[in-house]
Structure 1
């Protein structure tokens, strides 16, 4: 077992999950031919963003709870229509993470963090200063969507296949971590597309999210487990452009697209 994460940055959130990587070539059909990819476009639903403002922790909590409720409704209807198993994840929003969570040590130095615990099917979000300081962009919505996508990969068997699969070396391990993290970025983009008309946002807001994502990703000196900022933006844009989980099959993508 290992921890994969997206380091928190200004205007963006950190994603911490557990998993192991897959050896080459990637042949497991649960990863490459998952039923999720054949489930069709995510239907449009209404999801007005809850009110939010800088440095208001209560409103940030309500915002996260509100958009998570939208995801429950949207993804729940989608999974049931595709005859995929569905159950809502639990949600916890905390000011500080405990030293250990879901059997793993927690990096207590991170300002804002997201964890998904597959054992309890719980999304946990630590609200740090960087979330509170600048909440006007779409970063928090995207981060919540990516964390929710970790729950979706569990429901569809992708997470288990990823955890059970072997890897030959650290490079393979890191690449497979990038594949699943980028897949979750993409699925967040799918959700954003499905609710976009009701968000009362414009092209400027979307472009700002892509700019923030391009400035995130792997950090020099740390394991390359998240993907380049450009690839994070590209996969998020792919999901948004089509609104279809079929666009989020990172397991058959070339290595360059998940670098």
Structure 2
């Protein structure tokens, strides 16, 4: 993905969401649970309030609105992703290769694997 290319960033994020939706649908239906895909909304910059959340208090680039089941993602703008690029790539590869959400449990990983 080219740095600063908003179209490529949107396409990449949408591909990740599609992959996650496929994986979660499979695991939830296997467990006998319903699954409803999320909607994705791309924004250049989040407003100060989005879905009753005060976004200006954080520099997160992704917000989830439970009442509308919408993932808002800031493409470009002033936010930033957390962690090193190499770490983010490692987690994405792990998730894609296993297709198992449990393989991406960052809560139990050592801090060096999530920095």
TM-score (norm 1): 0.33
Q: Is the 8 A contact 2:61 2:79 kept in 1?
A: no
Task: Say if 2:18 is the partner of 1:117.
Answer: no
Which one has more relative contact order, counting CA pairs under 8 Å at least 6 apart?
1
Secondary structure at 2:20 match in 1: helix
Equivalent residue pairs, number: 102
- Structure 2 matches for 1:105-184, cutoff 5 A? 105-107=54-56, 110=59, 112-128=60-76, 137=86, 139=88
Paired with 2:87 and 2:41, the residues of 1 have a C-alpha distance of 20
RMSD: 3.4
Post-superposition Cα deviations, 1:45-90, rounded to whole Å, max 9, x if no partner, equal xxxxxxx221211111110001100111111111111101211011
Paired with 1:115 and 1:109, the residues of 2 have a C-alpha distance of 10
Task: Say if 2:34 is the partner of 1:85.
Answer: yes
Match of 2:113 in 1: none
Which structure dedicates a bigger proportion of its chain to helix?
A: 1
* Structure 2 gap ranges (5+): 100-104, 111-115
Match of 1:55 in 2: 4
Post-superposition Cα deviations, 1:159-206, rounded to whole Å, max 9, x if no partner, equal xxxxxxxxxxxxxxxxxxxxxxxxxxxxxx6x86342279xxxxxxxx
Which structure dedicates a bigger proportion of its chain to strand?
A: 2
| Greater Cα radius of gyration, structure 1 or 2 | 1
Among 91, 97, 103, the alignment partner of 1:196 is: 97
Runs of 4+ in 1 over 6 A off after TM superposition: none
TM-score (norm 2): 0.68
Q: Is the 8 A contact 2:64 2:70 kept in 1?
A: yes
Q: Is the 8 A contact 1:53 1:136 kept in 2?
A: no
